Structure 1
Amino acid sequence: MSDLPFLQLKPNAKGRVLLGHPWVFGNELTELAGSEFDGEVLECRDRRGKRLGVGIYNSQSQIAWRRLDGGPAPLNERYLRHAAQAALTRREALGSRSTYRRLIWSEADGMPGVVVDQFGDTLVMQVQTLAFERWKDVLADILIELTGAREVIHRDDASIRRFEGLPHEVRTRSGRDWEPRWATIDGFDYWLDLMSGQKTGFYLDQREQHARVAAWVAELARRGGGKPRVLDAFCNQGAFALQAARAGAGEVLGLDSAGDAIAQARLNAERNDVADTCRFAEANVFDWFSANRSEKWDVIVLDPPPFAKSKKALDGAMRGYKELNLRALQSLNAGGLLATYTCSHHMQDAELRQVVAGAAADARRRVHIVEYCHQPADHPVLVTMPESEYLRGYVLRVD
């Protein structure tokens, strides 16, 4: 045993940490350590005193302890450098050499509560744990050194930070504002506003799916001899729409409830010379389907925000996902395709299959799965942590 202060599981605790999960909740412990240990590294032991590992502690959070990788070493510059280098090596080993990628994915990369996305020579970092908050400037310097990036934007404006007692802020490493600019991602130009755009500025986790849907649009155009009509629901900056237009769609409509996203999507369409094919409208997608029941499409993309932001919200979220998929299935031409996604980690494979099956039954459509979809390799999934896998979906053929 080390000389570190330690936490201990209750005698009757059956926490997932015993099966390798990296979290321990406060109500699973015999007692909390004092607040003077918030943000520090503590041991955790099972009810018999067996060491479960070392991790970061915060008495203010429901997740009181989060395991760190490796042995009893403290959280310091050496740990950060090792974890950052391992994350880069992990991605390169899987073939991810793009400069537009996720570099750090929280517990899956040994840095609980840290997310870092790379946009060319700029890194966007989000920190959601007190321990790593204290080390984020050191981590920024290490990542600059390892990647050759020129700037780090700290996007610490997520509401979840309040659960760790952390303030909101947005700033750059250099202290200078990062001016919005054009960036080329997968052959398309996008106007990026990394200091105030949604999340870290662009949904890098859907890049593979943008290309896959475009490939299906091209296949429909080839086999059908016509130009498919495509609906991109919850379109955000219009990436699905742009790629579908270039792949041979005859008409693409993008819908989003955020006016700034629609304005940006239109700008992107003009920049990429597909404005004649793509049009965009600010709309509530549920209401739009209700008001446009006669509209028929050859391809529909459903990429909504997470409806289930907590486990308690799952039942209501499943009803919402089912209704959304039902309306889409009712709006597809025979032989059409539905690409449907969920980005809530509470919606596991079984729940998503249940939602899609229920929608197909209610729509009285014969539906086949033609492709399973999930997050890309630069968003690694920790097999003992279901929460690290959050993006899943299907491409469905509808008869």
Structure 2
Amino acid sequence: MPHGFPIYPWLCLLFTYIRGLNSTVGESRMKSLLLKPRSCSRVLQGHPWVFAGEVQDLLPGSENGKTVVLRDSRKRILGSGVYNQNSKIIWRRYAWNKVPFSMQFIRKSIEKAIQRRPVETCRRLVWSESDLLPGLVVDQYGDALVVQALTLAIDMRLPAIATILQELTNAKAVVFRNDASVRKLEGLETYVGTFNDQVLEPLNLDIDGLSYQLDLLKGQKTGFYLDQREQHALVSTFAKGGAVLDAFCNQGAFALQCAKAGAKSVIGIDSSDTAVQLARYNAKENRLEATFEVENVFDYFTNNRDERFDLIVLDPPPFARSHAQVEGALKGYKEINLRAIKALNPGGILATYTCSQAFSMEVFEDLVSGAASDARRTIQILHHCYQAKDHPILLTMPESAYLHGLILEAD
């Protein structure tokens, strides 16, 4: 059993696994949800989610985690999805036709997801709805896999999924990072553990030419910001000979890539002492010169208002995790970008990002534009940036494009 996993939920999970190993709900037994007449649900335009208020009647709790067919008010099939009445998102599509969410389907979907990605030591293998597996996220770090089960349907099948992943990748260890708060919205407990109660120590891995110490059980996200790998490389091309500030530096990936690229000086700031200690360790291991300090980034700009930089990286945690938090987050993003723009030397580069799903690129660009106007600086856009390609974006699901960035040059 996973280390640290509550006993009773594990027994329930094991029972479900044994009962559903060979198949889940048979196609002939699949229940149906009906959209309300004259529904304006985004699912009619291809979005994979349906909310509770968009259907005529909810199904009983006995259908939670099972396959359910969605139909419009005329009973035409709109797809097959996994159901959970305890979630605001009660239905998540994985197929356009009537197909059970069987282990055979899951295995084939995982195989396709792996085949779509280039072979690398560290990569995202499965990305939820983008790979037709709602709620399943899998990252690979060498011989170890980190798995997140963010929906009830995936959580119910987790032991079988872990077994499939090991068979397909020859992974020696599987970590369950089920500590994301979104699990609570599915009625699930949060925990961190390992498959078969395996003991796993922090490991050192080479990622894009640098060695990092990764703690897959306690580190940020699943151990590393894999979605920013392409940005680490791109931003470093602006670093040679310049003074670099990496704000919200975490384990120091932006800072260390810039130091490797020949920056004159590199400073990394983060409010987490653990992150800063890890960044210092990584700098030492790679024999790179970089300074890392524990400080609130807003306070750092205030306390060092006379400092100027040739390159500033802003990669904060999400200020808005829901639409209800957007208004406050807008003020925060604008203010931090305003302070960064003021701290740029003439011709300086700002690489600024948001990982808040509630923001589109257009909204993010508007707020940074407002910050530039307030700073009375003329700014040119050099690059629009998104998450790494192994985090594919669904055309009909804006939420799958959660990472937005701009690389800008100031006058």
Q: Same fold (TM over 0.5)?
A: yes
CA distance in 2, matches of 1:2, 1:169: 35
Q: Which residue of 1 aligns with 2:21?
A: none
The residue matched to 1:71 in structure 2 has which SS?
coil
Report the Cα offset of residue 53 of structure 1.
Answer: 0.9
The answer to whether the 8 Å contact 1:2/1:72 transfers is no
CA distance in 2, matches of 1:143, 1:158: 21
Q: Which residue of 2 aligns with 1:210?
A: 232
Please give the per-residue CA displacement for 1:180-229, whole angstroms capped at 9, x wherever unaligned. 121111111111100111110110111111111111113xxxxxxxx211
Count of aligned pairs:
385
Amino acid at match of 2:76: K
Matched, 1:189 2:206: no
Please give the per-residue CA displacement for 1:91-110, whole angstroms capped at 9, x wherever unaligned. 2xxxx221200001000001
Q: Which residue of 2 aligns with 1:329?
A: 341
Matched, 1:304 2:306: no
Amino acid at match of 2:258: A
CA distance in 1, matches of 2:310, 2:211: 26
Matched, 1:250 2:264: yes
Q: Which residue of 1 aligns with 2:55?
A: 29
The answer to whether the 8 Å contact 2:173/2:198 transfers is no
Q: Which residue of 2 aligns with 1:235?
A: 249
Q: Which residue of 2 aligns with 1:84?
A: 110
Amino acid at match of 2:367: V
Report the Cα offset of residue 2 of structure 1.
Answer: 5.5
The answer to whether the 8 Å contact 1:154/1:170 transfers is yes
The answer to whether the 8 Å contact 2:77/2:97 transfers is no
The answer to whether the 8 Å contact 2:78/2:97 transfers is no
Q: Which residue of 2 aligns with 1:177?
A: 199
Amino acid at match of 1:253: I
2:129 to 83, 90, 107: 107
The residue matched to 1:245 in structure 2 has which SS?
helix
Amino acid at match of 1:201: G
TM-score calculated relative to the size of structure 2: 0.92
Which segments of structure 1 move beyond 4 Å, counting only runs of 4 or more?
none
Q: Which residue of 2 aligns with 1:285?
A: 297
Q: Which residue of 2 aligns with 1:131?
A: 153
CA distance in 2, matches of 1:244, 1:61: 43
Please give the per-residue CA displacement for 1:280-299, whole angstroms capped at 9, x wherever unaligned. 11111111111111011010
Amino acid at match of 1:85: E
Q: Which residue of 1 aligns with 2:400?
A: 388
Q: Which residue of 2 aligns with 1:224?
A: none
CA distance in 2, matches of 1:145, 1:37: 30
Q: Which residue of 1 aligns with 2:280?
A: 266
The residue matched to 1:68 in structure 2 has which SS?
strand
1:294 to 294, 299, 306: 306
CA distance in 1, matches of 2:408, 2:79: 43
Structure 1 pair 2/53, CA: closer, same or farther in 2 (3 Å)? farther
The answer to whether the 8 Å contact 1:54/1:68 transfers is yes
Report the Cα offset of residue 159 of structure 1.
Answer: 1.3
CA distance in 2, matches of 1:298, 1:185: 25
Q: Which residue of 1 aligns with 2:12?
A: none
The answer to whether the 8 Å contact 1:318/1:351 transfers is no
CA distance in 1, matches of 2:309, 2:233: 19
Please give the per-residue CA displacement for 1:79-134, whole angstroms capped at 9, x wherever unaligned. 1111001101222xxxx221200001000001111111000110000001111111
Map 1:218-229 to 2 at 5 A. Answer: 218=240, 227-229=241-243
1:46 to 72, 92, 114: 72
Report the Cα offset of residue 75 of structure 1.
Answer: 1.5
Report the Cα offset of residue 232 of structure 1.
Answer: 0.1
TM-score calculated relative to the size of structure 1: 0.94
Report the Cα offset of residue 3 of structure 1.
Answer: 4.9
Report the Cα offset of residue 72 of structure 1.
Answer: 2.1
Q: Which residue of 1 aligns with 2:383?
A: 371
CA distance in 2, matches of 1:383, 1:99: 28
Q: Which residue of 1 aligns with 2:357?
A: 345
CA distance in 1, matches of 2:377, 2:282: 35
CA distance in 2, matches of 1:73, 1:296: 58
CA distance in 2, matches of 1:5, 1:378: 34
- Percent identity (aligned): 50
The residue matched to 1:115 in structure 2 has which SS?
strand
CA distance in 2, matches of 1:143, 1:215: 36
The residue matched to 2:116 in structure 1 has which SS?
helix
Matched, 1:142 2:187: no
CA distance in 2, matches of 1:53, 1:371: 37
1:360 to 372, 375, 392: 372
